[in-house]
Structures are given as C-alpha cells and as structure tokens.
Amino acid sequence: MENKNIDFILELYRFHITVNKMLACLAPDETKKYSGQVSWFMKKANQFIADNGVTFVTQNPGDPYDVGLPVTPVNIADFDKDAELVIDQVVEPTVMHNGKVIQMGTVLLKKAE
C-alpha cells in the first residue's frame, strides 16, 4: 500500500475524532441534526478503508501497556522501567494492511492506579 493512501486513511481517522469533539460541544438538537451526516460519511469511509484491506488496532485508554504492543509510547522515558503503566491517550492507531503492521500507533502512558 502506498504511503499517500496510508496518510489519507490516517487523516480520515483524525477527522472523525475532531468531528466527534465538535459534535460534543453542540446543543443536543444540533448534535442530532449533524450526527446522521457524520455517521453516513464514516460508513462510506470505513467501507473505503476495508476495501483497501486496512484495519486499525486501537488500544483504549486504561488498557495495560506492554512492550510487545504495536505502539510507540511517546512518554516512556518519564517512568521507571518497573512501573506498571496503562495507556492514557491514543494519539494515532496502529495501521494494518492485510494482517501486517504497516504503521505503529502512538500512545501516551500513565502509571496504573
């Protein structure tokens, strides 16, 4: 898969996150008005992504961090090597194409509570 296609797919991911944040700031009647359009767009975008053999592996905030995960932790140096860590925020998902990792995800970590 070409890098420009991967970049476009990641931009779709970022766009979806941004639009959801914007929808959360609207009044409930406005949210209802626009959420259907967003859902329709994301259905089409997800179909495009699936047709191209791409999947996202997204760890969720609160998931335990393990060095074997296909992610790059941005702030790993802030913690002792024996600290029990969890994912605090997913900056970018891991991107796979036909079952192979083609781009590592990016996460921020925090100490487990």
Paired with 44 in beta bridges are: none
**Is the model's pLDDT at 1 over the cut of 80?**
no
Taking only the tens place, the pLDDT of each residue in 32-41 is 889 999 999 9
Within the chain, what is the greatest distance between any pair of CA atoms? Answer: 49
What is the domain partition of the chain in residue ranges? Answer: 1-52, 54-113
Taking only the tens place, the pLDDT of each residue in 14-35 is 899 899 999 999 999 999 889 9
Taking only the tens place, the pLDDT of each residue in 62-108 is 999 999 999 999 999 999 988 999 999 999 899 999 989 999 999 99
pTM above 0.85, yes or no: no
Tokens of 75: 């702030």
Rounded alpha-carbon distances, angstroms, from residue 90 to 108, 109, 110: 6, 9, 12
